[in-house]
Amino acid sequence: MKKIDRKDQQIIRALQRNGRMTNQDLAAEVNLSPSPCLRRLKLLEQYGIITGYSANIDAEAYGLPVTVFVHVKLESHTEATVKKFEAAIARIDQILECFVMTGSSDYLLRVVVADLSDYEKFVRRKLHPLGGIASMDSSFVYGVVKKTNVFPVTE
């Protein structure tokens, strides 16, 4: 894996703020000439440090205004159970993120749905059929204080 330096971090942070900026604008923002900036950018992509580009979408405008964090605890932790659960989770579109956790739950899911009825359908039709789940604890988001995709500067 390529070790990145401060200039690479500046490039990454600039692209996290605006992934559609031109190489010319990016070079100006990070104080490089366009050719070296583009070379660095291509290396960051080549080494898998930049894994892709996407648009940030307003979930409410899209029709999915409800975000739910679901703590999931499995009944057992055999390799087969874990693989089956994780493979199934990867196929469920309503689950935007799934984290393996320490503590009282095994996984934390970030789920988006249209409303409470939609969430009930999601649980009954998508999660319950998976089996192997000992418990689920749902927390509904009712406000967002901070949301960013820009990494902090490292020391």
User: Could you tell me if residue 125 is inside a domain?
Assistant: yes
Q: Do 66 and 40 lie in a common domain?
A: no
Number of domains in the chain: 2
- Could you list the residue range(s) of the whole structural domain that residue 31 is in? 6-46
- pLDDT of the residue at 3: 87
CATH at 111 = 3.30.70.920
Task: Tell me: do 78 and 134 sit in the same domain.
Answer: yes
Query: Which CATH number goes with the domain that contains 15?
Result: 1.10.10.10
In a domain, 151, yes or no: no
Between helix 34-46 and helix 6-17 the angle, nearest 10°, is 90
Which pLDDT score, from 0 to 100, does residue 154 have? Answer: 84
Residue 19 resides in a domain: yes
| Cα 110 to the center of its chain, rounded Å | 9
pLDDT of the chain, 155 residues: tens digit per residue: 678 999 999 999 999 999 999 999 999 999 999 999 999 999 999 999 999 999 999 999 999 999 999 999 999 999 999 999 999 999 999 999 999 999 999 999 999 999 999 999 999 999 999 999 999 999 999 999 999 999 998 87
Cβ proximity of 114 and 64 under 8 Å: yes
Residues 35 and 63 reside in one and the same domain: no
